[in-house]
Structure formats: C-alpha cells, structure tokens
Amino acid sequence: MTGPGFPINWAASTGNRSLMSNPLYVKYSNSTFANITAEQVKADLAGVLATAETAEICAYLSWLLRTLALLA
C-alpha cells in the first residue's frame, strides 16, 4: 500500500506528479466510475511491468477495481 489510508480508501497527495502524469491515471481520472469497466482496468493492469517503480499505478488500478466491485 502506498500513501495514507487503508486499501479500499487508497489516496494520493494532490501534488504527486509522478502518479498524476501517468497515462493510465489520466485515462481513468477523466471518467466517472459508471463509464469504467473492470475488464478495461484489468487489461491495463495486465500490461504494467511488475516493478517497484510501477507499484503506485498498480495500487491505483487495484483501488479502481475494488471500488468498481462495490458498485456491482
């Protein structure tokens, strides 16, 4: 887990440029949850390299999946 909070309440600081400039963050942060599918997020997560440098975007995408599951 990165940042403050608990897994379902994952959060990032508003000044976190590395996350907020990530193309996947930009893609989903400009959409409502109603317009995001778990399949889209899973496909994008599957394409992320499994490195320490990508842990933050993985945490964000995982949070999206948990939130979408709450809405299902």
- For residue 5, name the pLDDT band (cuts at 50, 70, 90): very low
Residue 1 has pLDDT above 90, yes or no: no
Is the four-CA dihedral 39, 43, 60, 66 of positive or negative sign? positive
Q: What is the pTM of this model?
A: 0.84
Average pLDDT estimate for 9-34: 89
Residue 51 has pLDDT above 50, yes or no: yes
CA distances from 28 to 11, 35, 62 (A): 15, 9, 12
